[in-house]
Amino acid sequence: MSSIPLMHHLIYLSWAAVPLTDKELQQLLVHARRRNTELAITGVLLYGNERFLQVLEGEENAVQEVYAHIRRDTRHTNILTFVNKPVAQRAFTEWAMAFQPVTPQQMEEVVGYLGAPTVPINTTSLPYADMHLFDLLHSFVLP
């Protein structure tokens, strides 16, 4: 009997080493979507205020592989991991990588919601917090 692998999700914030142009962002997205499709990764990427906020979802090894690649990518600096854990199901099932540019004020709102990654999180409330975070992220990418 084969077991169904658990889904895993990871949320990180990073600063752009240099501001990206629209063309550079498009190139990044084409490459990321291709790779994510190959690895069955879904998620969302927000870019604004020279920062990236991304959710990656998929099989744990694939998520960790993509994240290791991101951590080596010289376009990212000061990478902060907020969530890195198994989940029951995907939140962004339809998107190899949804993307939304956001205003500096919108990025501050999302980052402010996350809080510092070093602040202890009460794990009994984490699924509830995740639900609200995903609702907030969905609000940026859904029409």
CA angle 58, 126, 36 (to 5 degrees): 15
Q: What is the CATH number of domain 7-141?
A: 3.30.70.100
Nearest to 73 by CA among 19, 27, 20, 16: 16
Per-residue tens of pLDDT for the chain, all 143 residues: 445 567 898 989 899 999 988 899 889 888 988 999 999 999 888 888 888 888 899 999 999 999 999 999 999 999 988 889 888 888 887 777 777 666 667 766 666 655 555 444 333 344 555 555 655 555 544 44
Q: Which two tokens stand for residue 60?
A: 């744990």
Domain ranges of the chain: 7-141
Q: Would you state the pLDDT for residue 136?
A: 57
